Structure formats: C-alpha cells, structure tokens
Structure 1
Amino acid sequence: MKAADVLDLHRACARAGLTIWIDGGWCVDALLGEQTRPHSDLDIAVRRGQADRVREILTGMGYLADARPDHTAWNYVMSKGPDTSVDIHVFDHDADGRVTYGIEYPADSLTGTGTIDGEEVDCISAPWMFTFKTAYPPAPKDRADVQALAARFGFAIPASHR
C-alpha cells in the first residue's frame, strides 16, 4: 500500500464530507511524520453511519470486497490488487462517547492527527496507538512500531516489545 493510495482515499472521503481515521502501521508513520517501512495494507476506522458511503467510495476507486470467512459487518477488507487493500474497522458511540457497536475505539482515541507525505490526516492518537500496538504478541514490525512511538512520545516499552 503506497502513501499515494492512502492519501487518495483520505481525500475522497473528505470531499464527500466523511471522516476516516488512519489506524495500524500507517497511523504509526503518520504520527511519526515519515514512512518507516512498507505497508501491505491500510487500516481505517469509520463511524457506522458513514461505513456504507466509504464502501461506495472504495468501490468507485476500483476496490472489491475480499471474501474472507472472518469478515463481519464491522471488520472487513476491500482490495484492488495484491499490494493495495484496506481493512475497514466500523464503530459507533452513544451520546456519552461509549462504544455501542463494532470495534472498541474509545472516543478519545479518535483525536490524533499526523502527516503522510506532508499532508495532514486524521488518525488514532499516539497514546492509544501505542496501547493498541502493545495489546497483542508482536511481530517484528510491531516491535519496530512500538519502539519508534516510544522514542518519539516517551512511552515505556513493555518487556514483550523490547
């Protein structure tokens, strides 16, 4: 997944009045302000009420829904080739900010901003991205992401990610 692909989707959603939040490895790079590694996909968070429209935008950009047995209405992948896929994480909150549907994104996790190729994007906040990245057994790329976030933002690295 190239930076240009990420920005194309971010811009298309913004033009349609939709907000998506960059998550995952691209979020780490956005928070750091530079691409630190290649990415096989893009993870995004989207509100439930905007998810169908985001899917339409992706379809219009040539993406197709992947048929995977683990797909749900709140977590699915759309691709337009082996190196260009988007993992869509759908959520919803009530008026008090409590998660009422889908992926568990606390309301304050959706307050980050970062840059990709010098362009500002909405993303998961640095403290929450660090929390999310340290919540599961790490692959080597996850260790590198955690170490980079810790170095930039002063987070303490858990033993599992050193």
Structure 2
Amino acid sequence: MHADDVLAVHRACARAGITIWIDGGWCVDALLGEQTRPHGDLDIAVRRGQDDRVREILTGMGYLATPGPNDSAWNYVMAKDPDSSVDIHVFDHDADGRVSYGIAYPAESLTGTGSIGGEQVSCIAAAWMFSFKTAYPPAAKDRADARALAAEFGFALPDSHR
C-alpha cells in the first residue's frame, strides 16, 4: 500500500464528511512523520454507522470485498489489487464513552494526529499505538514499529520487542 493510496482513501472519506483514523503500520509512520517501511495494507478505524458509507466510497475507488475466515461485521478487508488493500475496523462507544461495539478503541485512543506525505491525518494516539503494538507476540515489523515509537516518544520498550 503506497502513501498516495492511503491519502486517496483519507481524502475521499473526508470529502464525504467521514472521519477515519489511520491505524497499524501507517499510523506508526504518520506519528513519526515519515514512511519507515513498506506496508502491505492500510488499517483504518471507523465509527459504526459510517462504515457502510466507507464501503461505498472504497467500492467507487475500485476496492472489492475480499472475504476471509476471520471477517466479521466489525472487521473486514477490501482490496483493489495485491498491493492496495484496506483493513476496516468498526467500533462504537456508548453515552459514557465506553466501547459498545466492535474493535476495542478506547475514546482517548482516537485523539492522535500525524502526517503522511506532508498531509495531516487523524490516527491512533501514540501511547495507544505503542500499547497496541506491544500487546501481542511481535513479528519483525512490529518490533521495528515499537522501537521507532519508543525512540520518538520515550516509551519503555518491553523485552519482547527489543
């Protein structure tokens, strides 16, 4: 997934009045303000109730649903080609701000801003992205992402990610 593709998705959603939050590896790079590695996909968080519109927007951009064994109503993938796919994470909060549906994004995790190709994007907040990246056994890319976030933001790197 190239930066131009990420920005095209972000811009199309913004034009439609939909906020998406960049997550995953592209979030790390947005928080750092530069692309640090190639990305196989774009992970986005979107509020329940706006996900159908995001699906329509992506379909209009040539993305198609690519069903997988772990798909659900709150987590699914759409792809344009092998190098351009979007992993959609749907969430919702109740009146008290607690997660009430889908992916567990605490409200305070949705306060980040970053930059991709010099363009400002909404993303997962740095401390939460670091927490998410260090919450599971890491692949090499996750170790690299966690190290980069730790170096930039002063987070204590767990032994599992050294």
TM (norm. structure 2) is 0.99
* Runs of 5+ unmatched residues, structure 2: none
Question: What is the DSSP-based 3-state SS (H/G/I as helix, E as strand, rest coil) of the residue aligned with 1:80?
Answer: strand
The Cα of 1:127 is off from its aligned counterpart by: 0.2
Structure 2 match to 1:125: 125
Q: Deviations over 1:85-144 (max 9, x none)?
A: 000000000111100000000000000000000000000000000000000000011000
Instruction: Could you list the structure 1 runs, at least 4 aligned residues long, displaced by more than 3 angstroms after superposition.
Output: none
Q: Which position in structure 1 is the counterpart of 2:105?
A: 105
2:64 corresponds to which residue? 64
Residue 96 of structure 1 aligns with an amino acid whose one-letter code is D
- Tell me which residue corresponds to 1:80: 80
1:92 maps to 2:112: no
Query: How far is 1:67 from its partner?
Result: 1.7
Q: Does 1:32 align with 2:32?
A: yes
How large is the RMSD of aligned CA atoms in angstroms? 0.4
| Displacement of 1:50 | 0.4
In structure 2, what is the Cα distance between the partners aligned to 1:3 and 1:155? 26
Counterpart-to-counterpart distance in 2, 1:70 and 1:129: 22
Q: Cα deviations across residues 2-39 of structure 1 (Å, max 9, x unaligned)?
A: 00000000000000000000000000000000000000
Alignment partners' CA distance in 2, 1:69 and 1:156: 35
For residues 19 and 32 of structure 2, the distance between their equivalents in structure 1, rounded to whole angstroms, comes to 21
Normalised by the size of structure 1, how large is the TM-score?
A: 0.99
CA distance in 2, matches of 1:118, 1:37: 17
How many positions carry a matched residue from both structures?
Answer: 162
Would you say 1:154 and 2:130 are equivalent positions? no
Identity percentage over the alignment?
80
Structure 1: runs of 5+ lacking an equivalent:
none
